[in-house]
Amino acid sequence: MRKRLAYLLPLLLLLLVPDCLHAEDGYRLWLRYDKVQDAARLQNYQQAIKEVVVEGSSPTLALVQQELRNGLSGLLGQQVPLAQRPTQAGAVVAGTPASSALIKTLALDDRLKQVGKEGYLLLSTNLSGKPATVIAANTEVGVLYGTFHLLRLLQTQQDIRSLAISSAPRIQHRMLNHWDNLDRTVERGYAGFSLWDWHKLPDYIDQRYLDYARANASIGINGTVLTNVNANALVLTKPYLEKVKALADAFRPYGLKVYLTARFSAPIELGGLKTADPLDPQVQAWWKQKADEIYTYVPDFGGFLVKANSEGQPGPQNYGRNHADGANMLADAVAPHGGIVMWRAFVYDDKVPDDRAKQAYNEFKPLDGTFRDNVLVQVKNGAIDFQPREPFHPMFGAMPKTPLMMEFQITQEYLGQATNLVYLAPLYKEVLNADTYAKGKGSTVGKVIDGTLDSHTLTGIAGVSNIGTDRNWTGHQFAQSNWYTFGRLAWDHTLSSEKIADEWLRMTFTNNSAFLAPVQTLMLNSHENYVNYTTPLGLHHLMGWSHHYGPGPWIKDKPRADWTAVYYHQADEKGIGFDRTKTGSNAVAQYFPPVQKEFGSLKKVPEKYLLWFHHVPWDYKTNSGRILWDELAYRYSGGVDSVRQMQQTWDKLEGMVDAERFFHVKTFLAIQEKEARRWRDSALLYFQTFSKRPLPQGLEKPAHTLDYYMQIDPKFVPGI
């Protein structure tokens, strides 16, 4: 007995420590459910919520019940009991008309029709004459999404007394893409190893799989591609399919479907065929049989994601066929089971002597209208490759007969990887709000991908995951916000960056406005800051060789020109920038005329894209009135200053959040400042060899020589 007490003592002590001093490692993400601090709000909530009623039983309804009970009990600081039916004013009643007789009595059919398969209603109403809060949906997963919404309202201290909310996702397939290898390394992953412990699967179901699925459900993510786009055919073999099944079974109650990447040459590697030609009947039969087999393990398998004829991956072009031939063959194999194919448009070929930015459009646009109904073409946000800033991809709007799916990168391959605080909502929003002019003004990228512009019902959006085995999931505490943001925008791309940051901060840290206001500003500026100290004014692809960490504007003479930096910045004694106008590669011609006119004109191009589209003389007058060289120097220097500003802001907040996460972020900001200086000094010293101009007066001088920076060669950078 005494022994047992001794065990309990530290636990009891922990309960007595004030909340903000608890060790907090970030594992709980935005789902912390600590007691509401504002006394008036707390009292309101305690009055409005007395018990939880979830009729019916199923794995998903059990999750709803558990989430409501745990979440509400935590937030209200008192046990919220379960009840069979409302026993008093203040029941939270959750269910579908099919699962719950109570919900059925509310006769919500008309309103439920509006929210579709995954949407939900949150209503303050009366049940059996007693005030109640209702979460109603057509499906159980819809109820789960509504549950997280209600909890979010409390977490962010909103009024819940007269709720009349209806919410439905604007995009159908909201997917994470894991670039996870079967050996558990993660390509471009900076948060440890892959969550999928293939070796112990299918027998051992790590609690983390469930926590992962729950976090995704809380933001409406409904699909996960488990494996790297640079695919290994092994995952399609029986032993691995058994493991995939175990994961799919674990994820199913959370509404999370499993997808796999398909290696195009699998019929040769696994099937012993001589070819993987998509028009070969034997190859088609092999894929059909493989798809049938997969569905015996995972009856609701989502389908395939494919990287083909890109960066050395096999594909239909190896056999003289085109992308549609390849995609359609796989689409036919999964169609009988309701599966889809996501065929990536990230293709470029070093044998094609054309601007890399033009190649995807050139290859895909002629194929518009030739894809099967269950194919989505997955297009990166920009035409090069997830650079810190890119103008939107010209394919958006250009293929009206084909559903195009957005591919964003959540993992910060080119954005400081795990150590830089960069909030990505402004980057995503810049792309989603961009106007393609495909059908006149207002034809935004958002409307292309949500299907409204061209009346597509099959729609999708993917984010390349930043999740790994690190305790805080994403490496940097603030990188959690990018996972969160992706999910929230996938559900509703009209949400603002401000709103998402505010929600995330309140849930992840605190509702204290003295913390919220400065940190929200810090987050909102962080992307522009990063662009400034790495690739200002439309520069791109200046990063370190292969691992892509840190600066490498001097990278040249590599196996492919379009893998170097000099290919993109084109700096010479006259100026800098890639001429993509008529006098250069004419990539601007791929945009619709109003966009072409804007980007193609040196006068009209937004300055943030200046050097993306134009080769500009060093003494060109920029908007600030400074010549280009000076402006570049100011931008790089300003970027460093802004990181120092971030540090100062953060330092003042000590004590407002738990010490563990406070110091974690503080230390990472110090790394960021150091890296920002290295970027600034490297880039300016290097470009100065062309501009041959002095740094403007008053700017901080580089600490070392160009040679010094060029020698820096970090080894074993993660994520390669």
SS3 531: helix
C-beta of 291: minimal distance to ligand BDP in Å? 23
Q: Which residue's CB is nearer to ligand BDP, number 385 or number 390? A: 385
What strands lie across the sheet with 120-127, from one edge to the other?
Answer: 51-54, 91-95, 130-137, 120-127, 164-167
What is the SS3 assignment for 109?
Answer: helix
Indicate whether 363 belongs to the interface with ligand BDP (CB under 6 A).
no
- Is there binding between residue 346 and ligand BDP (CB under 6 A)? yes
Minimum distance from residue 672 beta carbon to ligand BDP (Å) = 21
The encoded tokens of residue 604 equal: 């009209």
Burial bucket for residue 248 (CB in 10 Å: 0-12, 13-18, 19+): buried
Residue 389 interacts with ligand BDP (CB under 6 A)?
A: no
- How many angstroms separate the Cα of 24 from the Cα of each of 436, 484, 589, 662, 683? 44, 19, 52, 10, 38
Assigned token pair, 357: 């930015």
Indicate the residue whose CB is closest to ligand BDP: 385
Is 349 a binder of ligand BDP (CB under 6 A)? Answer: no
CB 450 within 8 A of CB 366: no
Q: Does 232 bind ligand BDP (CB under 6 A)?
A: no
Question: CA-CA distances (angstroms) from residue 34 to 19, 42, 81?
Answer: 8, 12, 17
To the nearest whole angstrom, how small is the minimum distance from the Cβ of residue 548 to ligand BDP? Answer: 6
d(CA 197, CA 179): 14
Query: Does the footprint of ligand BDP cover residue 188 (CB under 6 A)?
Result: yes
- Give me the least distance between CB of 140 and ligand BDP, in Å please: 35
Question: Of 229 and 699, which has the nearer Cβ to ligand BDP?
Answer: 229
Burial call 356-381: b when 16+ CB within 10 Å, e when fewer = bbbbbbebbeebbeebbebbbbbbbb
Which positions from 137 through 166 interact with ligand BDP, judged by CB under 6 A?
A: none
Active site residues: 311, 385, 413
Residue 264 in tokens: 């195009």
Q: Which of 252, 263, 307, 389 binds ligand BDP (CB under 6 A)?
A: 307
147 or 359, CB closer to ligand BDP?
A: 359
Among 70, 230, 469, 525, binds ligand BDP (CB under 6 A): 230
List 118, 180, 413, 562, residue binding ligand BDP (CB under 6 A): 413
Report whether 176 contacts 225 (CB < 8 A): yes
Q: How far apart are CA 675 and CA 678, in angstroms?
A: 5
Query: 115 or 229: whose CB is closer to ligand BDP?
Result: 229
Does position 229 interact with ligand BDP (CB under 6 A)? The reply is yes
Joined together, the tokens standing for residue 600 give: 């193609």
Nearest approach in angstroms of CB 385 to ligand BDP is 5
- End-to-end alpha-carbon separation of the chain, Å? 53
Q: Which of 385, 364, 386, 366 is nearest to 376 (CA)?
A: 364
Q: Which of 447, 422, 442 is nearest to 432 (CA)?
A: 447
Among the listed residues 321, 655, 361, the one whose alpha carbon sits nearest the alpha carbon of residue 509: 655
Contact mark string toward ligand BDP, 311..340, x via CB under 6 A: x-----------------------------
Q: What minimum distance in Å lies between the beta carbon of 413 and ligand BDP?
A: 6
Position among 361, 364, 386, 478 found at the interface with ligand BDP (CB under 6 A): 386
Residues binding ligand BDP: number (CB under 6 A): 10
Of the residues 67, 385, 390, 450, which one makes contact with ligand BDP according to CB under 6 A? 385
**Quick check: 348 binds ligand BDP (CB under 6 A)?**
no
Q: Which one, 325 or 385, has the nearer CB to ligand BDP?
A: 385
Residue number with CB closer to ligand BDP (295 or 545): 545
Could you tell me the smallest distance in angstroms from the CB atom of residue 415 to ligand BDP? 12
Shortest distance, CB of residue 186 to ligand BDP, whole angstroms? 10
Per CB under 6 A, residues contacting ligand BDP are 187-188, 229-230, 307, 311, 346, 385-386, 413
